[in-house]
Amino acid sequence: MNTPICAFDAKIGILCPKCDAKLKGGSISKIDVDASMKLVKLAEKHSEIDEIDLLRAFEVDGDYVLVLKTGDPLSLRANSSLGKLVESEFDRKVWMIEGDGTDRRVLEDLFFPLKLLTVNIVWLPDGSKLTRVIISGKRTDNSHVDLGQSKRIMKDVRGMDLIVEFEKKE
C-alpha cells in the first residue's frame, strides 16, 4: 500500500521529519495523515486493503473522500464487506473515487450504483462552465446517493461545478 505518508509512519502513528515538513508546508493535510494511518491499520488485518494505493484524502461535510489509484475503487466495491469495513474504521461515510481517472470515471464512482446516461459541459454566458450529468432512469428514494453531497465533493476535490438531472421526470 502507498499513502501520502511513509508506510512506516502510518504504521507507528508518528510522522518522520520529512512527512512532518510536508504537513507543515501544506503539500499534505491532516486528513491525508489520518486516512493513511486508518487504512494501514486495516491493511494489517485485511490483505485486500493492502493492495490499494491512497493518493489523497479529503473531508467534505463530515464525510471522508478517499482518492485512490485507478481501478482501486472498483476492486473495493466488488467486495462490499471491505467497503463496510472501511466505513466502520473511519466511523463515517467514506466515498472512494479514482485520482487520475477521467471526469466521467470519477462521476461514475461518485454516483455508483446509479448509471450515468450522459456527461457534458455547459458554458454559461459569463464564460464559466458547468458539468451536466444525466442519470439513467428516474429518481427513486432508494438510490442511496446524496446528490447534494456528490456536488460538494466534485467541487472540493476536482473543482467542478455540477448540475445533476435524471433522464425521466417523475
Residues forming contacts to Zn ion in the complex (CB under 5 A) are: 6, 9, 16, 19
Q: Nearest distance from residue 31's CB to Zn ion, in Å?
A: 16
Looking at the Cβ atoms of 36 and 150, the one nearer to Zn ion is 36
Q: Nearest distance from residue 65's CB to Zn ion, in Å?
A: 23
CB 94 within 8 A of CB 86: yes
Q: Nearest distance from residue 91's CB to Zn ion, in Å?
A: 25
Cβ neighbours for 155, distance < 8 A, ≥ 6 positions apart: 161, 162
Alpha carbon dihedral 133, 135, 139, 141, in 10-degree steps, equals: -100
Looking at the Cβ atoms of 9 and 98, the one nearer to Zn ion is 9
Helix (H) / strand (E) containing 39? helix 30-45
Helix (H) / strand (E) containing 122? strand 116-123
Q: How far apart, in whole angstroms, are the C-alpha atoms of residue 91 and residue 85? A: 10
Q: Nearest distance from residue 44's CB to Zn ion, in Å?
A: 18
Looking at the Cβ atoms of 18 and 129, the one nearer to Zn ion is 18
Looking at the Cβ atoms of 55 and 107, the one nearer to Zn ion is 55
